[in-house]
Amino acid sequence: MTDFPFSFVLPQPNVIPSRVDNHIVRNLSSLKGQFLDQDTYNEMLSKDDSLIYEVYEVKRPEIEGEFLMGISIVHPGKVGKEFYMTKGHYHTVIDTAEIYYCMRGEGFMVMETPEGETCVEPLSPGSVLYVPPRWAHRSICTSRQEDLVTFFAYPGNAGHDYGTIEKLGFRKLVLDGEKGIEIVDNPRFG
Ligand code: F6R
Ligand code: ZN
Whether 76 and 139 have beta carbons less than 8 Å apart is answered as no
Q: What is the Rg, in whole angstroms, of the alpha carbon atoms belonging to the chain? A: 16
Q: What residue type is 56 in one-letter code?
A: Y
83-100, pLDDT tens digit by residue? Answer: 999 999 999 999 999 999
Neighbours of ion ligand 2 (CB under 5 A): 98
| CB-count exposure of residue 1 (10 Å: 0-12, 13-18, 19+) | exposed
Going by CA atoms, what residue is nearest to atom 16 of ligand 1? 87
pTM above 0.85, yes or no: yes
Q: pLDDT digits over 107-143, tens only?
A: 999 999 999 999 999 999 999 999 999 999 999 999 9
Q: Ligand 1 pocket: which residues have CB below 6 Å? A: 26, 55, 70, 72, 86-89, 98, 137, 139, 152, 154, 158, 160
